[in-house]
Amino acid sequence: VQVLGTNTISSMQSGIFYGYLGQVEYLVNQLKNNYGSDLKVIATGGLATNFKDCTQVIDIYDEYLTLKGLRWLAES
């Protein structure tokens, strides 16, 4: 996603993408300030793949972590 859109649609997409990314980065930074910078951030789910390479705050990416957890619960 380009930072600046070239038309209405791409501008809206850019605003949504970078607005959400900024929210995630701000929240992670606030949590690390309050609880220590050694916190690890795990991004999961299919949409997280869109953000994982655009920020430094994501430490681990696992697209299937939620499903792995549900499987673990079901097998317990």
Would you say residue 19 lies in a domain? yes
Residues 6+ apart with CB under 8 A from 38: none
CATH number at residue 58: 3.30.420.40
Q: Is residue 32 part of a domain?
A: yes
3 occurs within a structural domain: no
DSSP one-letter code for 6: S
- Tens-place pLDDT, residues 19-67: 999 999 999 999 999 999 999 999 998 889 999 999 999 999 999 999 9
pLDDT band at 12 (very low <50, low <70, confident <90, very high): very high
Residue 44 domain boundaries: 8-75
Predicted TM-score (pTM) of the model is: 0.81
CA angle 63, 69, 71 (to 5 degrees): 105
The answer to whether residue 58 is domain-embedded is yes
Domain count of the chain? 1
User: Is 28 inside any structural domain?
Assistant: yes
In this prediction, residue 1 has a pLDDT band, given cuts at 50, 70 and 90, of: confident
